[in-house]
A = this chain, B = another copy of it.
Amino acid sequence: MLVFALFSIRRAWQGFWRNALMSLAATLTMVLMLTLLAGFFVLQNVLLASLSYVEQKVEVVAYIENTATQEQVDALVSQVQAMPEVASVEYVSRDQALANFRAQLQAQGRPDLTANLDQNPLYASINVKLHDPAQLNTVVSAIHDDPIVRSVINIQALVDRVLTFTGIVRTAGVVILGIVGVIVLFIIVNTIRLAVVARAEEIEIMRLVGASDAFIRWPFVFEGALVGLFGALITLGMLALAADPLSKAMVNFFNVLPIELGSVGRDTAALVLGTGLGVGVVGAWVSVRTYLIR
């Protein structure tokens, strides 16, 4: 068994270098394709994170009548808080609302005209964040019926739009990643198959001198694995080198979006290695098979 494994690995190694042209072509194709796949995967992750962030921003704002007592407000807050769809509730008093407004004006560099006011024209409000923006309606109607609520800002249309948009982008992302994945798989399997076809003669002779199927198959499978492994390692090396400057650049320019990308690095490595090895092995296995069934 060990002898057999050693033999297969040695032959795979020899085969790889003996057909250097084919092998390097296959490896390079593998590298390029895996880079593409990894790139799309990372983009897809960034996209998903950004979308979650955008969706987080969806909140329900209910303006409170000035006549409402603090107890009524507290009751409303705790009632809303109790709803399973709700993530968090924040009460903004009238004074706070005015302060926010002033700060906002200042930040935008616009003249502050509230100084000329004799009374605070703003209403207090409660701002509700949801677990899932799709459940907006339930929450809105619940709040709307409370007597102390003056009005609920009609953000239904906006939310719908954001939801449809993020949904579409998400689907498109998955579809594109899927298409790129299929392209990658196809091209790698194809390259490996061509490499095997180019050695049909060798397989033929092996059969005729009495090699068993395992002796014919495994060296090719290991060779496919070798192509996959080399391809994946080179890709990961390149990505590792590129990751630092890239993520710095991202932090610099996207710092508006505090995106969580903790495990993307690990996931990408797993994806690249898995795809490389998997496609190499399966591609070789399938390609050799057609020659064995005779």
Q: Residues of A with Cβ closer than 8 Å to B? A: 21-22, 25, 28-29, 32, 35-36, 109, 111, 113-114, 116-119, 121-123, 153-154, 164-165, 168, 180, 183, 186-187, 190, 193-194, 197-198, 249, 253
Contact call A154/B109, Cβ cutoff below 8 A? yes
Contact call B113/A117, Cβ cutoff below 8 A? yes
Closest B residue to A169 by CB, please name it.
Answer: B253
Sample 7 A-B pairs with CB under 8 A, ordered by A number: A32-B183, A32-B186, A111-B122, A113-B122, A164-B253, A194-B194, A198-B198
Contact call A253/B36, Cβ cutoff below 8 A? no
**Complex Cα spacing A27 to B260, Å:** 41
A155 to chain B, nearest CB (A): 8
Chain B positions within 8 Å of A197 at CB level: 21, 198
Closest B residue to A32 by CB, please name it.
Answer: B183
Contact call B109/A194, Cβ cutoff below 8 A? no
Chain B positions within 8 Å of A22 at CB level: 194
Q: Which one of A25, A164, A198 has the highest number of Cβ atoms from chain B below 10 Å of its Cβ?
A: A25
Closest B residue to A112 by CB, please name it.
Answer: B121
Contact call A190/B25, Cβ cutoff below 8 A? yes
